Amino acid sequence: MISFEPTPEQDALRQRIERFVMEQIVPYEKDPRNTSHGPTEELRIELNALARDAGLFAPHVPQKWGGLGLDHVSMAIAFEACGLSPLGPIAMHCAAPDEGNMNLLDKVATEAQKQRWLKPFAAGEFRSCFSMTEPWGAGADPSELRTKARYDGEDLLVSGVKWLITGAQGAGFTIIFCDVQAEGDKPGGPTMLISDMDADGITLTRQLDTLDSSFTGGHWEVTFDNLRIPAENVLGEVGQGFRYVQVRLAPARLTHCMRWLGGAMRAQGIALDYARKREAFGKPIGRHGEIGAMLAENEMELQQSRLMIWWACALLDKGEQGRHESSMVKTAVSEALFRVADRCVQILGGMGVTGDTVVEQIFRETRAFRIYDGPSEVHKWAISRRIMKG
């Protein structure tokens, strides 16, 4: 059976989150602590407290770790609502990279690792980062790992450089994707490791200036210099990193789509309100054909994006991996939402390129989204390979 209607419970949750975000979170968008490198840690903690009080903290986290335990379709509805403000996901503790890391730890970590990292992390006691992308190595092609780990007894020593590491400043821990060098009967290969961020051997070498500005801690270049990782801090098994990357990335592609869909909906609402009020050549600009056509195109692409997200989420809820489907959704939705944001800037005219509305930021965020979690070109290449194989 196919349904395009949320359940009464899902719709009630959507309304609660929309009211919470628009009434309590949107006023913080002009807060000086919401900087060009993202909201400060102080602001994050303050927003988290508001979400806790509203009963909306960590909607994606299993109930055993203190979250709402939503399925993927329910998450799609909730995350779209929280994405109405760039600060919404921060407040509700479901922003990237934290949301993806919580999912990964819940599915792969040992019980001891969950108690040490996931339990306080899910409670918002600290943030995380995911160290995969490299300046000249792993990124859209994670097989090009240049960050290496060698054995030193039972421990591993990690050396290499990562960059565009979101949230690195102020994070409590990081998950490191690296290439372990086999030694004797000790296995090697792509591996995920966990480390506290204040460990000796980790240096934040450079903060990057980027188009987007919605992530706490900004984006950083991080150097690992003989960082010691005890054997008990291997996430999963040595050599199984590619398998775990897919555990993390397929759902994370969809949650990116959910959050930025909310942002694009907000931009459309602002543009529509402006088109109703702003007059030119004797009538509201929305009554002129070109502007009306842009609004109509936005409306169609927003609904198409929503339905694609729900479709892929329903597959995940049935237990399917969704790798192929999430690639299609991520590509189609990121491209569509950028077109929506671009049209909204155009409709607003001069106001659209200023910070007088949040549309300018949403435009920047959705432009970056076309690259994050795999550029559209790489996803199209992967999709074509799969369909050519039949």
Q: How confident is the model at residue 76 (pLDDT cuts 50, 70, 90)?
A: very high
The pLDDT of residue 31 is above 80:
yes
Return d(Cα 3, Cα 88) in angstroms, integer: 27
Q: What is the pLDDT of residue 4?
A: 87
Q: How many CB atoms lie within 10 A of CB 52?
A: 17
pLDDT tens digits along 283-323: 999 999 999 999 999 999 999 999 999 999 999 999 999 99
Question: What value does the mean pLDDT take over residues 37-56?
Answer: 98
The pLDDT of residue 54 is above 80:
yes
Pick left, alpha or beta for residue 69 (phi over 0 → left; psi -120 to 50 → alpha; otherwise beta): left
Global pTM?
0.96
Distance of CA 102 to the CA centre of its chain: 12
Q: What is the pLDDT of residue 370?
A: 97
Helices H, strands E: what count in the chain? 12, 12
Q: How many CB atoms lie within 10 A of CB 101?
A: 25
Q: What is the pLDDT of residue 25?
A: 98
Q: How confident is the model at residue 1 (pLDDT cuts 50, 70, 90)?
A: low
Q: What is the pLDDT of residue 204?
A: 98
The runs of H, that is alpha helices, within 54-188 are: 72-82, 88-91, 98-108, 111-113, 119-122
Taking the alpha carbons at both ends of the chain, their separation in whole angstroms is: 26
Query: How is the chain split into domains, by residue range?
Result: 8-95, 128-239, 242-389
Whether the Cβ atoms of residue 76 and residue 86 lie closer than 8 Å to each other: no
Domain 8-95 has CATH 1.10.540.10: yes
CATH topology of domain 242-389: Butyryl-CoA Dehydrogenase, subunit A; domain 3 (1.20.140)
Percent of the chain's residues with pLDDT above 90: 95
Q: What is the pLDDT of residue 143?
A: 83
Q: How confident is the model at residue 138 (pLDDT cuts 50, 70, 90)?
A: confident
Return d(Cα 365, Cα 91) in angstroms, integer: 17
Q: How many CB atoms lie within 10 A of CB 255?
A: 25
Average per-residue pLDDT in the chain?
96
Whether the Cβ atoms of residue 43 and residue 53 lie closer than 8 Å to each other: no
For domain 128-239, which architecture applies? Answer: Beta Barrel (2.40)
Check the CA dihedral 37-248-242-235 and report its sign.
Answer: positive
Q: How many CB atoms lie within 10 A of CB 85?
A: 27
Return d(Cα 89, Cα 91) in angstroms, integer: 5
Tell me the two tokens of residue 342.
């671009």
How many residues in total does the chain contain?
Answer: 390
Whether the Cβ atoms of residue 299 and residue 352 lie closer than 8 Å to each other: no
Distance of CA 131 to the CA centre of its chain: 14
Q: What is the pLDDT of residue 2?
A: 67
pLDDT tens digits along 326-370: 999 999 999 999 999 999 999 999 999 999 999 999 999 999 999
The pLDDT of residue 246 is above 90:
no
Return d(Cα 329, Cα 84) in angstroms, integer: 20
